[in-house]
Structure 1
Amino acid sequence: MDQSLWSDIEVVKLSRKFVCARLATYEDAKEGKFLESIFRGRSGQLENTVFVLMAPDGKTKLSSSGRSPRMVFGGSEGWESTVLALEMLEVSEKYPWKEKSNGRPNLPINKDLRRAINVASCDRQLLVIAHQLPKETIEILSKIAWGDQHIGQFAWEITSDENEFPGAGMENPKPGIFIGNPDEFGLKLNWLKTLSPNAKEEAILTALAEVLKTKRASEKSTRLHVSRGKRLSKSWESEIPNTDPQIPPPNRRN
């Protein structure tokens, strides 16, 4: 995902009229198979990124499919998010949506902490981890995640197993809210803030405002990123084989 597109304020507003599904490519066999049915590049195999707009039936394509909104809709440099927003607006007008729905969506989480860190790094977002929290605190986080102030600004994850944390750079975590900045390769977190498992909404909002001042990584150049990963012996083990021709074998670097 290109954060510069999906964090654009107009795109975020229009996204509320869509069901936005971010599926895994090489991190989930079933989802990878579905994505492969939507788009295959010149290689004829599943590639690392896939984008398409679909009708409410989840089957009918409302746009061409490709690796990204830029590939599908185009747009000169600096105007890509505007082009995407206009396309989304046109589609949304053909499919009226309900102004209000019952309840609130759950936190948008990944399959596990390891993958949450990697996704957050790819998207150049800070990661908020809800570890062994009471239901009431989870509901507060969900409210914040989908609220106008912070929607699209953070990656989120819910954990219950402390054994997930050593790989991320933390030993024996106690229940609480942890906010971290993923490293360049999405393998570990630089820990920024820790909050009580019973933290109130105001305290959480204050903490989020503070960490947002943290310097975020610039947009990555794939060529330079892969080259640096090789040089530093950084690697990523995916659930299914990586078949993207733009990521060089045999040891595909993150």
Structure 2
Amino acid sequence: MDQSFWSDPEVIRLSEKFVCARLSTYEDAKEGELLKKLYRGRNGELENTVFVMLAPDGKTRLSRSGRTPQMAFGGSVGWESTILALELHAIAQKYPGKENPSGLPPLPVSKDLRRSLNVAACDRQLLVLADRVSESTMVELRQLAWEAPFRGRLGWSSTDNKEEVQAIGLPVEGPAIYICKPGEFGLKATSLKKLSANASTKEIKAALSVALQSARPAQKNYRRHVSRGQRLNKSWETEIKVSDPHIPPRRRE
């Protein structure tokens, strides 16, 4: 999905009135099947990006389906985010939701650590990894993940499997919280800060703030990035076959 839509401040503000589900396309067979029911390309197959607005029942469509918000709502070049913001505002007025919803949202993680790291790399974000930590620490991280200074600015993951940690290049030691910088291709990570698994909320908060202030998102040119990955023999194995005709066969690896 084009990040320009979701980096617009007004779109970010209005999106907080919605449950935003980011499904996995080719990284989860069940989610891929759901997306295929919502939108198929001209060849009848699942394409790499899908966008649709659904009512609270999770079934009724409030917009057309397409690859992007622009396909659903239209908008001339330069005005796409404005149109999306207006549509979000109109829908939010019809479905205002609860004033004070109870409960704490879950930690916004991907299916596993491998995928969480790759998503963080694609989004050019740091990754916070909870490695074999206690439930009480997980509650602290859930609270921090949804606080204004950190909400939407970090990738998150948790694991109880030390082999997952080793696979992305981090040291296999005792339980800990890592603030990681994803590698260029989202296959390995570098630890910027390691915190005790029993670190206080104040300590975690301070470490996250410092990391965000000092980190600079890497600039990526898609074509150069893909070309360099091919030269270095870097590849990514998806859970289901990539069927998007817009992705050349050589780039589906």
Q: Same fold (TM over 0.5)?
A: yes
| Equivalent position amino acid for 1:225 in 2 | H
Q: For each residue in 1:176-223, what CA deviation from the matched residue of structure 2 results, as whole angstroms up to 9, or x when unmatched?
A: 1101111221111122111111111111111111111211022x4433
Relative to 1, partners in 2 of residues 1:188 and 1:58: Cα closer, same or farther, differing over 3 Å? same
- Could you tell me whether the CA contact under 8 Å between 2:118 and 2:185 is conserved in 1? yes
Relative to 1, partners in 2 of residues 1:153 and 1:4: Cα closer, same or farther, differing over 3 Å? farther
Distance between the aligned counterparts of 2:162 and 2:62, measured in 1?
43
Give the alignment of 1:14-33 within 5 angstroms: 14-33=14-33
Aligned to 2:109: 109
- Could you tell me whether the CA contact under 8 Å between 1:24 and 1:31 is conserved in 2? yes
Specify every segment of 5 or more residues in structure 1 that has no aligned partner in the other structure, as ranges. none
Q: For each residue in 1:29-51, what CA deviation from the matched residue of structure 2 results, as whole angstroms up to 9, or x when unmatched?
A: 11101101111122321011111
Distance between the aligned counterparts of 1:3 and 1:124, measured in 2?
11
- Could you tell me whether the CA contact under 8 Å between 1:177 and 1:196 is conserved in 2? yes
SS across alignment from 2:82: helix
Q: CA deviation at 1:248?
A: 1.8
Relative to 1, partners in 2 of residues 1:3 and 1:201: Cα closer, same or farther, differing over 3 Å? farther
| Equivalent position amino acid for 1:117 in 2 | L
Relative to 1, partners in 2 of residues 1:7 and 1:209: Cα closer, same or farther, differing over 3 Å? farther
Aligned to 2:148: 148
Relative to 1, partners in 2 of residues 1:137 and 1:9: Cα closer, same or farther, differing over 3 Å? farther
Between the two proteins, the alignment pairs up a number of residues equal to: 252
Distance between the aligned counterparts of 2:77 and 2:35, measured in 1?
27
Aligned to 1:226: 226
Aligned to 2:82: 82
Distance between the aligned counterparts of 2:77 and 2:221, measured in 1?
15
Q: What percentage of aligned pairs have identical amino acids?
A: 55
Specify every segment of 5 or more residues in structure 2 that has no aligned partner in the other structure, as ranges. none
Output the TM-score relative to the length of structure 2. 0.92
Give the alignment of 1:1-254 within 5 angstroms: 1-75=1-75, 79-212=79-212, 213-218=214-219, 220-250=220-250, 252-253=252-253
Q: For each residue in 1:71-130, what CA deviation from the matched residue of structure 2 results, as whole angstroms up to 9, or x when unmatched?
A: 433445555433322221111111121121111111011111101011111111111011
Distance between the aligned counterparts of 2:101 and 2:122, measured in 1?
31
- Could you tell me whether the CA contact under 8 Å between 2:226 and 2:251 is conserved in 1? no
- Could you tell me whether the CA contact under 8 Å between 1:165 and 1:173 is conserved in 2? no
SS across alignment from 2:130: strand
SS across alignment from 1:26: helix
SS across alignment from 1:44: coil
Question: Hey, which bits of structure 1, 4+ residues long, moved more than 6 A?
Answer: none
Relative to 1, partners in 2 of residues 1:200 and 1:77: Cα closer, same or farther, differing over 3 Å? farther
- Could you tell me whether the CA contact under 8 Å between 1:3 and 1:124 is conserved in 2? no
Distance between the aligned counterparts of 1:108 and 1:101, measured in 2?
18
Distance between the aligned counterparts of 1:33 and 1:46, measured in 2?
8
Q: For each residue in 1:108-158, what CA deviation from the matched residue of structure 2 results, as whole angstroms up to 9, or x when unmatched?
A: 111111010111111111110111111221111111111122111111111
SS across alignment from 2:192: strand
